Chain A
Amino acid sequence: MTKPVLNEVEGSCPVRTDMKEILILAINRIGDLLQLTPLMAGIKGRYPGATLSVVVESNFAEVCKGIPFIDKVYAFDLVDYARRLTGSEYSLVHNFRELETFFLGINHKEYDLMINLTYTPFSAYMASLIKAREVRGVFVDGEGHRLPKHPWIYYFLNGVMNRHINPFNVVDQHLKVGQSQSTSGRLYFDVPEEDTQWADSFLRNEGMGPNDILIGLQPGASKDHKRWPAWAFGGLADMLRETLGAKVIIFGAKSEIPLGEEVLKSTKGNIINAVGKTTLPQLAALLKRCSVLVSNDTGTMHIATAAGTRVLLISLGAAHYRETGPYGTGHLVIHADLPCFPCGFSVNCSHMLCRERITVEQVLEAIKILLIEPPIELGSPVRDSVFREGACLMKATFDENGMLEFVPVYPLSLTKDAFYLALYRRFWPQVMDGKKRLDQEEIRRLGKGIAERVWRCYFIDESCPLSFEGDLEAIERLKDMAIAGIGMCQTLLDLSGQTSLDAQKIKALGWKLHQHKNSMTEFGLLHACLKPITAMFDFRVSHLEGDGLLYLTQETLNLYEEVAYQCDLMLGFMTEMLPGKERKFYINTHPEEWKDERVISGKGVA
């Protein structure tokens, strides 16, 4: 029985030398792999001298050469292996031995730390077959139960049901699991020199000159609901050429060639077509030459951020920019201003309004913002902008904890979601990073900071002021319930500790405690502001490891205590954020007028 490992130190990540062999299991797509690179950087910084091995899909083994922190790559051809299992070419024993041999290769040494951040059932089993002293991420225990290891993994797995108020990018969540921090605020991929030369030659052949602005378009995406229409990309290409005189290049995989052709058909002029023509390093080299990439939520987008190119993400459907948007300061995101955004993962949308809401004009405007030097100030007035309605423009920046945050470029009307997003942004690191509990003064200081941050980017729509009275009452109520739970656990512990056990009484109290937990969970899940806390509590209670009544009761008591503290923390923050008697959110500053002094520049080609 191992207790979840909590982050040890607030803010800083001191160097440790006790980890010599570290392995990251990363059998996933290219975008996911690149989103692990800050973690790899963080690990190398935290554990200097440690050897970092990765397990990746064989397709991306070559790409790993461009990731500077990887010492050893174990490549597994998942697609081929899965096909073999359904074919008749190889025997059961052969297939077994092949897998066994693969793991023997990995397990020739014992790892001090193994991190699995691939949230697939198979990766959990893979993790369970790798010998490591310490495991973080998802794995399968000795009996076949899929278990998460690490508070931020609990958070990740719960995030699915609380997406609307999850403030954290997946990269930062990965960093938390690795107990490290992003030092450069970006993804990593070193473009090999030969691919840079190839890209330059490719672009020269396509007529690109030294001062040309090159704008990249990535019209494809893994799922249809994530795609902005091909005709819109085509229209955008025309406007880019006509209004900015830019060269336009479209990217995509071989399977996206028909989509690329569709884009080409909907344009009036020439576009450089690189769809299906590049390897991943070549794609990275071309992206590096782009001043901006306009992309759906794709691996190409992550490659661009790694290559240091500004990205404009069109965030559609179930893809959520706050979770998987471009990592790094300055990138922009457009998303539809719709209550249904983002879709749930299981939603099969029949209208795709979010695609229609985002116009070519808005995307063009966002590109202009990305191109101007110096960049636009946050909080510029929206009234003359094409973003007055339909879509929102968000900009990536880093918060005071060094975690990525998307803030509105043009102030938005404050919603409860935005309010709690800001609150939870400060809240979760406090409760999950093993930090000492805050005193009232510290809570007040942090609460003020949160409020200031909100004030910069949001305004109150006077016609529908937000009232938090009900929420505050609910938090108080949840706290009471948590305290009641603590009392019940304590009674159970007292009973269990007695020399003559009253089994009947213990059973009755155990049942009562179980019912209390259910009522509390039900109550918390019914209140939007409490959902994240409650879901986390419920998740952790049902994933308690170990056995024995005393032990499990003590662990449950600890979890109730955590909820009580979390309620206190929320109440403390909210007291600072909602100072008046009416418990309403007031804005005390207004953004200044924004002056248009934009200079558009390109990177050209070497």
Chain B
Amino acid sequence: MTTNFFKKNIGTLSQKDPELAGYLSGLQVRNGYEVVHSKSGHPVLKAGNISLHSLYDPVKDGEKWVESQMDTIGNTTSLVILGMGFGYHILPLLKGQREIMIVEPHPYVLRVAMEHCDLTPILSRCQIAVERNLSEVLERITPETVILPYGPSRYLDPGFFDSTLGRIRLYQSPRPLKIMVVTPIYGGSYPIAQYAASALTEMGHKVELLDFSPYQDALFSIKQITPYAGDQAQLQGLLSNFLANVVMARAMAVKPDLVFFMAQAPVCPDLFKKLKEREIPSAFWFVEDYHLFKYWQEIAPHCDYFFTIQRNGFFNALRGAGVANYHYLPTAASPTIHREVALTEEERKEYDSDISFVGAGYNNRRQFFLGLLDRKFKIWGNEWDNPGILNRFLQRKGARVSTEDSVKIFNATRVNINLHSSTACNGVDPAGDFVNPRTFEIASCGSFQLVDNRAGLSGLFHIGSELITFSDIEDLRGKIDYFLNHPEERREIAHRAQKRALKEHTYRARMEEMLGFLYSRGFQPKPLPPQDRSVDELIAEAEVETDLGVYLSRFRGKDRLTLEDVLNTISEGEGKLSDIEKTFLLMREFKGTLR
């Protein structure tokens, strides 16, 4: 029976989507799924305590669900149903002409359903997608498409369900968002803010980067003012407070759809309160170890969305602090920067190495690398003051290494050592969980790395085929030797890691996930203020045939048109001005009266 259903279903699906049919045919169903029969005799999928349909009468239950959705469905011509299960809630919708797209986030569920039910009416009528071909559905979504999340499907994996729902809603967003990215003054999270801003721009959003790096000198100068730590802290606090006010002033001027703060950005609870009052949503990406940096406690409860690079214990702590909208969002690589590069002869001479490490001189690294004293090893990076015997490895006397140079080092090194910093141990942190940006960056460069074991790694890379880890110095020494002697294997692993990184671990992917999460949690950009209308909309508003419509048509191609844009094209004193131009100039003068 199971085989018959599957054959029939897969046959129908093959006609519409052979690729998906092929993928599902080869899919091995994981344990944990169970098919039971309802009292009405229909098969129902159960996963643990969760059943996707009614255990009494799933057909009737499906009809009821559809009835409950009718207000939402209205007269729409296009529907997306998120969560297919065994399809009982879809059958009543098949009547009518509307386009129906079904997204089942979990391919295993679809596979089981195809084995146990006759889904041919659905498969022949609707477009089906799982996570891997989600983009096909996303491309068909319009702002008018109605999205119906099927509640019971969410229980299987709420995080994954929400993230998929978020991605769908993100695509449905009728316009690019205006996002203000706030950088820290300096530090490791500073470049991440820039990468995130670039990724958002690449996605088509309007990004306002509030770059606080110009305040670096001011911050550093505080230490010259007084030797007293208390006074220094007070002055730093005042500077930080000032910059938090800068954020607010800028937000008032820019009126963004979202303010996205990077870790260490200057903030205060009052800032989040003010943003809330102005209905400007805020998100904070805490790319820090929450054990070490406690300032999340001052931020997470006040901002609207909080992103972490750690889960488990941190999630518990966040829940304990009353934070609802948090989400795991590891760091990533920026493929346009972290890439394969051809080195000049001179660069090769400097950077070429069997073994290299790029990073700051944390104590665990200083201790751990003593175990490599007998190797040819290059250490790059700053904060290696008093390096002791490691001085022989230290390049450029411990000068700061630029991102560009790091990329060259990764490329020129046969085995890149990636040891996560830790203040808790003298080598590999046995409790280390989050994954550092360097992991993704080396992978994205197509370079080979040996990385210390981290709890978070296995969810991001396939350990063994994409990434090789080490657990202690002996393990590392053995693997260094092995991989130095097996260049081909090294290259293959690096290549697989690169492929994975470019596909899944880019800042663009992270930003899509970040926004997807926001949308899954109800984020909706406010309707564009009329002032921000596109040129086409403005021309339509002015009516194409009118003098103003004709005048504005010269600006076609710009997605937004401000008074200043128009004024920039009007030259006073150089030829006759039309009444339209005089009116715009008058608007300028009126605006000037407010100054």
Contacts and interface: CB of A to CB of B under 8 A. Distances in A.
Asked whether A and B interact, the reply is: yes
Interface string B577-595: 1011011111101111110
Contacts of A143: 572-577
Contacts of A83: 594
A143 B594 CA distance: 25
Interface stretch (B320-328, B365-373, B379-387, B559-567): B559-567
Given A92-B561, A92-B566, A122-B590, A87 B548 contact: no
Contacts, number: 101
Interface stretch (B72-80, B267-275, B502-510, B526-534): B526-534
Nearest to B591: A85
Contacts of B537: 91
B585 A92 contact: no
Interface stretch (A125-133, A302-310, A528-536): A125-133
A89 interface: yes
Contact of B593 (A90, A92, A122): A122
Contacts of B566: 92
Interface in A69-108: 78, 81-83, 85-97, 99-100, 103
B538 interface: yes
A91 B573 contact: no
Contact of B587 (A95, A120, A128, A144): A95
Nearest to B540: A93
Contact of A94 (B541, B561, B579): B541
A548 interface: no
A137 to B, nearest CB: 16
A96 B529 contact: no
Contacts of B574: 143
Nearest to B539: A93
B16 interface: no
Nearest to A100: B583
Contacts of A97: 542, 548
B582 A125 contact: yes
Contacts of B587: 85, 95-96, 99
A88 B530 CA distance: 6
B594 A89 contact: no
The main secondary structure of chain B at its interface with chain A is helix
B562 A92 contact: yes
Contacts of A128: 582
Contacts of A90: 530-531
A142 B594 contact: no
B255 interface: yes
B585 A144 contact: yes
A140 interface: yes
B582 A94 contact: no
A93 B593 contact: no
B564 to A, nearest CB: 10
A125 to B, nearest CB: 4
B529 A89 contact: yes
A48 interface: no
Contact of A92 (B255, B563, B579): B563
Interface string A398-428: 0000000000000000000000000000000
Nearest to B570: A144
B65 to A, nearest CB: 40
A90 B562 CA distance: 12
A88 B532 contact: yes
B583, B590, B593, B594 interface centre (most CB from chain A within 10 Å): B590
Given A91-B541, A93-B542, A144 B572 contact: yes
Nearest to B579: A129
Contacts of B594: 82-83, 85-86
A590 interface: no
Interface string B543-565: 00000100010000000011100
B592 A87 contact: no
A78 B594 CA distance: 10
Contacts of B584: 96
B590 A85 contact: yes
A90 B528 CA distance: 11
B534 to A, nearest CB: 10
B533 A92 contact: yes
Contacts of B562: 92
Contacts of A507: none
A109 interface: no
B591 A129 contact: no
Nearest to A91: B530
B324 to A, nearest CB: 30
A121 B593 CA distance: 9
B309 to A, nearest CB: 36
Interface residues of B, number: 37
B78 to A, nearest CB: 29
A142 B577 contact: yes
Interface string A140-152: 1011110000000
Contacts of A99: 583, 586-587
Nearest to A85: B591
A580 B580 CA distance: 64
A87 B531 CA distance: 8
Nearest to B542: A93
B541 A93 contact: yes
Contacts of B591: 82, 85-86
Contacts of A129: 579, 582-583, 586
A94 B592 contact: no
A88 B255 contact: yes
A592 to B, nearest CB: 53
A96 B583 contact: yes
Interface in A429-478: none
B170 to A, nearest CB: 23
A92 B573 contact: no
A120 B584 CA distance: 16
Contacts of A87: 531
A89 B532 CA distance: 10
B548 A96 contact: yes
A79 to B, nearest CB: 8
Contact of B589 (A89, A93, A125, A145): A125
Given A82-B593, A85-B563, A93 B538 contact: yes
A89 B562 CA distance: 13
B56 to A, nearest CB: 53
Nearest to A103: B583
A122 B590 CA distance: 6
Contacts of A100: 548, 583
A97 B549 CA distance: 11
Nearest to A107: B579
Contacts of A81: 590
Interface string B410-451: 000000000000000000000000000000000000000000
A254 B108 CA distance: 72
A228 B210 CA distance: 47
Contacts of B585: 125, 140, 144
B589 to A, nearest CB: 4
B577 A82 contact: no
A92 B542 CA distance: 10
Contacts of A145: 572-573
A63 B573 CA distance: 38
B531, B577, B591 interface centre (most CB from chain A within 10 Å): B531
A88 B592 CA distance: 17
Given A83-B594, A99-B586, A122-B593, A91 B538 contact: yes
A86 B593 CA distance: 11
A282 B201 CA distance: 59
A88 B584 CA distance: 17
A126 B585 CA distance: 10
14 contacts: A78-B590, A78-B593, A82-B593, A87-B531, A92-B533, A93-B542, A94-B530, A95-B563, A96-B583, A99-B583, A103-B583, A122-B592, A122-B593, A143-B573
Given A81-B590, A91-B530, 9 more contacts: A91-B537, A91-B538, A92-B563, A94-B530, A96-B548, A96-B580, A99-B586, A122-B593, A143-B574
The 8 tightest CB contacts between A and B, nearest first, are: A88-B529, A144-B572, A122-B589, A91-B530, A125-B586, A88-B531, A93-B541, A85-B591
